Structure 1
Amino acid sequence: MGYRLSKIYTRTGDAGETGLADGRRVAKDHPRVEAMGEMDTLNSQLGLLLAELAEQQARWPGLSELIEVLAPCQHRLFDLGGELAMPAYQALQPAEVERLEAAIDRWNEELGPLQNFILPGGSRLVAQAHACRSLARSAERRCQRLNAEEPLRGVGLAYVNRLSDLLFVAARLIAKRQHIAEVLWQAAPKPQA
């Protein structure tokens, strides 16, 4: 593979437009660029989660499995970003969605049913997994907004949806494997009559 970037700045975006890989120029707040940006943000935060999991896996060996499942997700998010940048490009395959579903099912079996709403907290790792989950939902919304204007492939939309589900279950699994109680939501007290 040759060099992908020979120059980091081009000055072509100074007026508020950017170039897509298919040659089109669009506004930097175009729904396609917004979706690409959300994928990039999610990927960056997922990288932080993976780095923290790697730092903690010696202390909590059960975290290694999460790294094995989540690490490929960074590459698939990059693939999805490529599909957004180059509408004719098709990288994601249905098998990737199935891989996430299999991990969700396996982890949910270990966790058991959710008894209450939970909050993002308990440990830094749990909170970071929830931050990634909420960013995945944001990326999904941006993709759906773009999809309303310019139809996207269903596999990419399904992948982001399943990834947010996977990250929710991952947050719960991290708590369990760290032996940390989940932070349960407590409803506001009802006013006295």
Structure 2
Amino acid sequence: MVVLSKIYTRTGDKGETALGNGVRVAKHALRVNAYGTVDETNATVGLARLHATGIMDAQLAMIQNDLFDLGADLCRPDPDKDAHAEYPPLRMVATQVDRLESEIDAMNTALEPLRSFVLPGGSALAAYLHLCRTVSRRAERLTVELAGTETINTAAAMYLNRLSDWFFVASRIANDDGRADVLWIPGANR
């Protein structure tokens, strides 16, 4: 259980922060950028939830919890090294990716196939879900870049890849099952 009795520590005043294994790195390190952008994604999900109800809100709540798991995973380097530790680090697992895929498939059954690209907008919920999609894509790009230089848990990158797809399909659901999607009209303002 996490206990936070004091919020500021002054340990980051010189531009460094501690990873989950205690190693200190620059606050601009790629790993910190990756899990920081996962945190930013989580904040955008909080905005979307202001407009969500029912199943959509429940699914977004699960995603928020997963995003904390993902941040915990990314802030702890060397996934293979700690596998047999007394207190193994929290890692993303395939079932979290599978759940997203299942939810995407279920949402897709209500949607007509797209015949144009969709512009971000429509309902307030759809607009926020598009914001979630773009921020999660940035988190994915940073995580994939990190994977090019350090070992990461592959389920972490897979989760982010599915998550942006989830947000896209959910945005269409939020736009009256796609009927209120704002469609791109190529060259409309020429």
TM-score, normalised by the number of residues in structure 1: 0.87
Counterpart of 2:66 (choices 52, 72, 76) is 76
Aligned to 1:109: 109
Q: What is aligned with 2:48? A: 49
Amino acid at match of 2:139: A
Specify the alignment match of 2:18 in structure 1.
19
Structure 1 residue runs of 5 or longer lacking an equivalent are: 58-63
Is this contact kept in 2: 1:122–1:180, CA < 8 A? Answer: no
SS at match of 2:90: coil
1:47, 1:39 → 2: CA distance? 13
Name the SS for the 1:52 alignment partner.
Answer: coil
Shift of 1:190: 9.1
- RMSD value over aligned CA atoms? 1.7
* Structure 2 counterpart of 1:125, one-letter code: L
Instruction: Decide whether the 8 Å contact of 1:123 with 1:180 is kept in 2.
Output: no
Letter in 1 for 2:41: L
Point out the structure with the larger helix share. 1
**Is the partner of 1:126 in helix, strand or coil?**
helix
Alpha-carbon displacement from aligned partner over 1:46-85 (angstroms, at most 9, x marks no partner)? 01111221xxx4xxxxxx1212222101011100100111
- Structure 2 letter corresponding to 1:67: D
What displacement does 1:115 show? 1.4
Structure 1 residues 94 and 181, CA gap change in structure 2 (3 angstroms) = same
Quick one: structure 1 residues 163 and 32, their matched pair in 2 at CA, closer, same or farther if it must change by over 3 Å?
same
Q: For residues 29-48 of structure 1, what are the structure 2 equivalents within 5 Å?
A: 29-48=28-47
Deviating beyond 4 angstroms after TM superposition, the runs of 4 or more aligned structure 1 residues are none
Structure 1 residue 91, shift from structure 2 partner: 2.8
Gaps of 5+ in 2: 83-88
For 1:38 and 1:176, the matched residues in 2 are separated by 29
Percent identity, please: 44
